[in-house]
Structure 1
Amino acid sequence: MKNSTDIQQAFHERLDEGELMNCMRCGFCLPACPTYIHTGGNELHSPRGRIAMMKAVHDGEMAPTEEMKASLDLCLGCRACEPACPAGVTYGHLLEESRAIFAEHEEKSPVHKLVFGDLFPKPKRMKQAIGAVRLYQKSGLQKVTRTIGFLSLFPKGMKELEETLPEVIPKKERVHRAVYHAVGEKKATVAFFTGCLMDTLFHPTNKATIGLLQLAGCEVVVPAEQACCGALHGHAGEKAKGIEMAKHNITAFEASEADHIVLNAGGCGAFLQEYDTLLVKEEGDWPERAKRFAQKIQDFSSVLFTLGFIESIPLKLEEKTITFQDSCHLRNGQHVFKEPRALLQAIQGTHYVEMANADSCCGSAGVYNMLQPEMAGEILKEKMNKVNDTQADVIVTANPGCLLQMKAGCNQHSDTLTTEAMHLADLLWESVGQEQRQNVMN
């Protein structure tokens, strides 16, 4: 491996030796790890095995290898091993630091530079890209492309992504007011983190989320200067860019002086909640500012639940069976899992069925399903079998990547499933009824 000596030195200097030592090799993480399970119990692809390699490189007992890097790349970063670990090892931090070290010593492809350097960090370009998607959908090009089978020339993951993309609404409708006032008594002031994909591909879901917060008694502030959270960068080893975006967002939200910073994407929320860890070694007052920011992060479902949304707003839908798929980072990162279920179970006319292994990864994991399509496909297939067992009409989740992945699963298994995938906010918005929605519109 090129730069082997430099990589090994970086492992020795940057990985937390105490955290590496915390792993007791007990194996409690193994049944929780999707890649360990789907590789037939290969220790190389388990949290315990990966930490053992990290420690060996850190201690100078082995040189970093391509096999080690491939193992780190195959990890979903779902962090299901963390709640299973009796020693409380923060595996996610070790994984992201290890990936960052490897990434800093390899040449980036043009596509990598485009996505992580020029697209996600720059809201204007992100909006332009989504505008191009809308043109593709509305010009007739999408229909022609599908008819002639042009997408079959591209990787499978690309074709599946195209098939699950929601209809992009016009640019003039993808805007926010600076402030949305509470409906009725004001109970809290929250700042809303819009996100990249959520505010472009899933803009109506963001508007639904804001409407729900208003009905719950929140004054909702939307800081104009916010940008991408940096989660995809952090997971892909682009730590420096993640730090840059963290500082940008902290600055953008400080002026709001809100009680909470609220969002509806589990992956983004977990990364935002760990800005304090990301910036802990930065100079000046950044560590303290990051800590104050991180302490305010709340998933919208937690805010609704805490403010008594269920007790104050009647929720009702036509008869249907619903189930819930946990966002890994919402559950394992933010430790939110009871609140979404409580909200769903409060909807009159529905029957909630808990899915077996709802807390296991669906295979999306950011852009994992694009980079590791074979493993992602195996994981998704197993997940859809669990969905089928529930006989649910709707499978609900709370993260854009998970939502696209579940939509792909519903499409792939349409011969055995009639299930629709929805974001939690969209289903709740539908369930509040026209009269309540009108109160928000006014």
Structure 2
Amino acid sequence: MGVLADVYGMLSMCSKCGICQTACKTYKVDGAETKVTRGRIQLIKAVAEGKLEPDENYEDAIMSCLLCGECAVACPSRVKGNELVLAARRDFKLRKGIHPFVKSFALKTLANPKKLERAFKLFGGMGKNVLRRIDGVDYFRGVDIKGMNVAKVPFLEQVPEKITVQNPKHKVAFYVGCFLNYSLDQTAQSVVKVLTKNDCEVVIPKGQVCCGLPQYVYGDFETAKVNARKTIDSFLAKDVDTIVVACATCVAMLKEDYPKLFADEPNYLPKAQQFSAKVLEFSQFVAKIGIDQSKLHNSLPVKVTYHDPCHMVRGIKVTQQPRQLLKSLPKVEYIEMNEASRCCGASGLVQAFYHEMSTDITRQKTQNVKDSGVEIVATSCPACMMRIQGGINMAGQNQKVMHVADLLAKAYEG
């Protein structure tokens, strides 16, 4: 059974009760048994037992999963369907490779900083100019491509490796991540501003690479390990107490998945564990050290809600800290929206290859935003920001999606 042998016990725990149907967003859109956790588990089990050859239909079943983890929360037998799908994808990669070519090319591009920078520059320059001249092409597979920001200069080239403050109380390193580096550079600047305003000396190691999660979730552990080692080695070389991450996806990979990734390497595993123990999500860290309320003075009177990224609420289980920070802002009225932890439909490359399904899932999230009556949706994930803002724009709504760090940074202005 190969890779699937390690999870066969969990595969057998599924009682086929169907409670996962109430949680699975892909099932609610598609209605097919192969698009719900119960059905996916039975297919994976059949492959593990040699009763089913992994074909295109099987690939479709395991690749369409959002990996949101909502099924694992709902399951009375505590079956972690998202982890079983990850194992199935790893097994499929070892058997068949990564299909199709476009997906393979995208994953290779994401893993290589030079290729990724060229891709962003191409998109931000010629690509967007071409799109502006094509009537009706505002969105591509549910993504607001015209509205997507591209940094003129990557964030890592805008800042020195160390940003000092007088009498620092904390020494932290900032893992930037691809989106904040190449697209949301102003959000990265906001992170640094909030940290320095709270007496943190900030180290920003140069040569940072993708965390490896895109490759990891499609079973390409080899490429993910290359990037993970670069990240671990470069950050552990710095004299810092905490590694701050402002991307929900990245922080889950760095904190939760790195030790899993190196579980088969006993010589390197302790290093991965040492690294992961230092990792904290941005709002988690800021709430921990506490903010000086006397420095907050310039917030606008707005109604704000919060969207829980899947990797935050069901990954590292950080939910209260971002809300705590938002509620601390002067003049901000916090309103909890319905289904705040509902997946927004982004889920990496799933939104590109299953765009109709993702768009339907996003539509419900944007409706919940509208119903909440807020002006701003705060969140902690760049991918969620892009997905939800695109959904809001497509729906003709006028709410703005912002990172928690951006709202905090604005409160320090003046």
TM-score (structure 1 length as normaliser):
0.86
Confirm or deny: 8 A CA contact 2:120 2:150 kept in the other structure: no
Give distance in 2, aligned partners of 1:49 and 1:128: 40
- Contact 1:213–1:300, Cα closer than 8 Å, also in 2: no
1:356 to 329, 338, 342: 338
Distance 1:310 1:89 in 2: 43
Where 1:29 maps in the other structure, the secondary structure is helix
Aligned to 1:341: 323
Change (3 A) 1:52 1:169: same
- Superposed CA offset, 1:315-349 (max 9, x none): 54221111111111111111111111111111121
Q: Which moved more, 1:286-295 or 1:17-26?
A: 17-26
Distance 1:313 1:34, change over 3 A: farther
Matched AA of 1:157: R
Q: Is the 8 A contact 1:189 1:218 kept in 2?
A: yes
Partner residue of 2:400 out of 413, 420, 431? 420
1:157 corresponds to which residue?
Answer: 141
Q: Is residue 315–residue 346 contact of structure 1 (8 Å, CA) maintained in 2? A: no
Output the CA distance in 1 between the equivalents of 2:37 and 2:148: 33
Helix, strand or coil for the counterpart of 2:303? strand
What is the match of residue 111 of structure 1?
102
Backbone CA RMSD of aligned residues: 2.4
Q: Which of 61, 67, 70 is the equivalent residue of 2:57?
A: 67
Aligned to 1:17: 8
Give the superposition deviation at 1:48: 2.6
1:77-117 C-alpha deviation (Å, 9 max, x unpaired): 11122333444434333222211222331464443343222
Letter in 1 for 2:132: R
Shift of 1:12: 4.3
Q: 1:362-399 deviations in whole A, cap 9, x for unaligned?
A: 11111221111110111111111111101111111111
Distance across 2 between alignment mates of 1:312 and 1:16: 52
Structure 2 CA distance for partners of 1:188 and 1:173, relative to 1, 3 Å: closer
Cα-to-partner distance string for 1:18-53 (whole Å, 9 max, x where unaligned): 33344444544332221122234x433222322232
Contact 2:21–2:27 (Cα < 8 Å) also in 1: yes
Kindly indicate whether the alpha-carbon contact (under 8 Å) linking 2:155 and 2:180 is maintained by their aligned counterparts in 1: no
| 2:3 and 2:90 in contact (8 A); partners too | no
Is the CA contact (8 Å cut-off) linking 1:310 and 1:343 kept in structure 2? no
SS in 2 for 1:262: strand
Partner of 1:146: 132
Partner secondary structure for residue 302 of structure 2: strand
Which runs of no fewer than 5 residues in structure 1 stay unpaired?
A: 1-8, 435-442
The structure 1 residue matched to 2:117, chosen from 107, 127, 130, is 127
Deviations 1:252-298 (A, max 9, x none): 1111142221111101111112100111012x511111111222221
- Residues 153 and 182, structure 2, Cα contact 8 Å, conserved in 1: no
Aligned residue identity for 2:103: H
CA 1:70 to 1:172, structure 2 compared with 1: closer, same or farther past 3 Å? closer
Worse overlay, 227-236 or 61-70: 61-70
Aligned to 1:52: 42
1:305 is paired with a residue whose SS is helix
Number of equivalent positions? 412
Letter of the 2:82 counterpart: G
Contact kept, 8 Å, 2:205 with 2:234, in 1: the verdict is yes
**Matching of residues 12-411 of structure 1 within 5 Å:** 12-13=4-5, 15-40=6-31, 42-104=32-94, 105-106=96-97, 108-117=99-108, 119-136=109-126, 142=128, 145-149=131-135, 151=137, 156-157=140-141, 160-170=143-153, 174-182=157-165, 185-273=167-255, 274-282=257-265, 284-309=266-291, 311=293, 313-314=295-296, 316-411=298-393
**In 2: Cα distance, 1:27 partner to 1:281 partner:** 34
**2:301 aligns to what SS in structure 1?**
strand
Please say if residues 4 and 87 of structure 2, whose CA atoms lie closer than 8 Å, have aligned partners that are also in contact.
no
Distance 1:234 1:431, change over 3 A: same
